[in-house]
Amino acid sequence: MEGESHGEVEAAAKPHFVVIPFMEQGHMIPMVDMARLLAQRGALVSFITTPVNAARIRPIIDHSLKSGSTIRFVELRFPAAEAGLPEGCENFDLIKSDELIKPFIESASLMADQIELHLRQRTPAPDCMISDSLQYWTAELSQRLGIPRVIFHGPSCFYLFCALKIKREKIFDGIAVDDSKRFPIPDLPQTIEIMKGHVRRMADSPGWEKLRDQVNLAEETAAGVVLNTYEELEPWYIEAYRKAIGKDVWPIGPLSLYKEADVGSRAARGRASSIDTEILLRWLATKKQSSVIYVSFGSICRNSRRHLIEIGRGLKASNVAFIWVVKEVEVLEEWLKGFEQRSTEEKGLVIRGWAPQTVILSHPAVGGFVTHCGWNSVLEAISVGVPMVTWPRFGDQFLNERLVVDVLRIGVSVGATKVQKFVPLEKREEEEEEEDEAAVKRDDVARAVVSLMEGGEEGEERRVRARDLREKAVRAMAEGGSSSENLKNFVIKYASHLRVIDPYV
């Protein structure tokens, strides 16, 4: 091929996937992992990103380049100004007011022409597009490029199926959003009861109709669905979802168990860690097996000052050693300093900012996780056999809690009932005033943590179940395992000029 480097000639022999993530940590992190897995399978991957997001994962990009990986991180200009967003607002966690959420979701559509131009200028032509379920505009882009499009769905299959059933069977029609009665979702293998408010999505708000319809249509017209889960984790729900949507569903996770899981690369997932990994590992090395609880609420939900204090005091009251990730340092710095002095470094480690979550969770000293039930966090805990204290806030999290507590029986609920609106940090103080009796208190935190970590026979049974799921997860990702086979078959199906696909040779 004239004018092409040796690398490009080689690349031309590989199936080429274009990956278009939604720019939010909980969506990007698993999609980067997926890109690495596809590359290990012998595929060429064009991973679309923007300058701010690329800067966050620079160590992964550098590692990828150095190791000769076949992922091309394609850094394109993000049209913030055209979308009415402040310059540099390229990730969901940088949004500073609620009014910008919808424009942010719609903004990536303005990148369609740039992506098309890039793909048309480079060889080989792509075989398939994998785009986040929120990137509705990729339906048209894939048509223009003449390639099939598969969507990547971030949540659990349990959530996806339950949400579909609730919608199709109109379970909550005529029910007030703030009705605190729990309604059963019919015809499931377990009894699952949920409040309307706990499954209401932002997309159900007035003014979101057009966007919601566009997202739904893009989902209906997609060729298939890729999921970050594994067949053995939620078999009934995966089968039911396949039947319900009538198209290919490819569970290829847990993606956090991708093969190249060296500590440096894992610590840099999402963004640079706020703690030196060496210091962290030294601290963990002083702790007994399964004695530490890890506390983190993901990348976007914000705790108010009052909530944070209740968490801190609850942890202290539990007398269990902890690692606590606090993103909201600006609302709490003074209190935190005093708290650290009182609880001593031996008992607890506070990480201000971003933690290397999978490094922490996979350490043998960690025996529990207080989580907001974001699906990545839940699955990362399951992948390493760590049971959970569940404290959902919004979105898919309340249903994920039901999966963890009622279906998998590897969790203890903290008892949260209140839906927390997504409120950017600046507005948290106002929100705090609204807190009421329903808010989770320190005693709830202490009770749930003690019950999880020292739960006697029941606690031991929870651990046994969690360990069993970890073993199944590891097997699913290993050669011949269900997720590994699903990924292989996925590549075979969508690669129009397939060459090498076995990463184990």
Residue 339 binds to ligand UDP (criterion: CB under 6 A)? no
Please give the structure tokens belonging to residue 2. Answer: 């004239």
Q: How far is the CB of 268 from ligand UDP (least distance, A)?
A: 9
- Binding ligand UDP by CB under 6 A: which of 32, 34, 225, 300? 300
Regarding 153 and contact with ligand UDP (CB under 6 A), the answer is no
- Residue 355 contacts ligand UDP per CB under 6 A: yes
Show contacts with ligand UDP in window 237-296 (CB under 6 A).
269-270, 296
The interface region with ligand UDP, picked from 11-19, 96-104, 299-307, 462-470 by CB under 6 A, is: 299-307
Q: Does 325 bind ligand UDP (CB under 6 A)?
A: yes
- Rounded to an integer, what distance in angstroms lies between the CA atom of residue 375 and that of residue 228? 9
Residues in the chain: 505
Q: By CB under 6 A, tell whether 357 contacts ligand UDP.
A: yes
Who contacts 501 (Cβ-Cβ below 8 Å, separation ≥6)?
A: 15, 41, 42, 43, 488, 491, 492, 495
Provide, rounded to whole angstroms, the least separation between the CB of residue 204 and ligand UDP. 19
Cβ neighbours, 10 Å, residue 396: 25
Binding range to ligand UDP, per CB under 6 A, among 218-226, 281-289, 308-316, 369-377: 369-377
d(CA 23, CA 83): 15
Does position 299 bind ligand UDP by CB under 6 A? yes
Residue from 253, 254, 298, 348 in contact with ligand UDP (CB under 6 A): 298
Q: Are 198 and 419 in contact (CB under 8 A)?
A: yes
Judged by CB under 6 A, the residue of 15, 21, 26, 314 near ligand UDP is: 26
Interface with ligand UDP, residue 343, by CB under 6 A: no
Nearest distance, CB of residue 23 and ligand UDP, angstroms? 12
Q: How many residues bind ligand UDP (CB under 6 A)?
A: 20
> Smallest gap, in angstroms, from Cβ of residue 461 to ligand UDP?
25
Contact by Cβ (8 Å): 486, 118 = no
The CA-atom distances, in angstroms, between 131 and each of 27, 111, 134 are: 11, 13, 8
Site for ligand UDP in 377-406 (CB under 6 A): 377, 380
DSSP calls for 253-306? --GGG-S---HHHHHTSSS--SS-HHHHHHHHHTSPTT-EEEEE-TTT----HH
Measured between alpha carbons, how far is 362 from 298 in angstroms, rounded to an integer? 17
433: three-class secondary structure by DSSP: helix
Could you tell me the two tokens for 335? 């209190």
Q: Pick from 29, 150, 192, 410 the residue near ligand UDP by CB under 6 A.
A: 29
Stretch of residues binding ligand UDP (CB under 6 A), selected from 22-30, 37-45, 47-55, 362-370: 22-30
| Closest to ligand UDP by CB, 142 or 358 | 358
Between CA 448 and CA 459 the distance in angstroms is: 11
Q: Does residue 158 belong to the site contacting ligand UDP (CB under 6 A)? A: no
Q: 49 or 142: whose CB is closer to ligand UDP? A: 49
Nearer to ligand UDP, 358 or 451 (CB): 358
Beta-ladder partners of 227: 153, 251
Q: How far is the CB of 118 from ligand UDP (least distance, A)?
A: 27
What does the alpha-carbon distance between residue 101 and residue 78 come to, in Å, rounded to a whole number? 16
Q: Which of 376, 451, 483, 484 binds ligand UDP (CB under 6 A)?
A: 376
The conformation of residue 458, written as its DSSP 8-state character, comes to H
Contact segment (CB under 6 A) with ligand UDP among 132-140, 208-216, 354-362, 437-445 equals: 354-362
DSSP for residue 417 = -
Measured on CA atoms in the order 29, 25, 199, 458, is the torsion positive or negative? Answer: positive
The secondary element (H helix, E strand) that includes residue 74 is strand 71-75
CB 215, CB 134: distance < 8 Å: yes
Name which position in 339, 375, 391, 494 contacts ligand UDP (CB under 6 A). Answer: 375
Distance of closest approach, residue 414 Cβ to ligand UDP, in angstroms: 16
Q: How far is the CB of 124 from ligand UDP (least distance, A)?
A: 31
Compare residues 50 and 420 and give the one whose CB is closer to ligand UDP.
420
Residue at token pair 């902890």:
322
- Does position 367 interact with ligand UDP (CB under 6 A)? The reply is no
DSSP state for residue 203 in the 8-state scheme: G
- Give the interface with ligand UDP as residue ranges (CB under 6 A): 25-26, 29, 269-270, 296, 298-301, 325, 354-355, 357-358, 374-377, 380
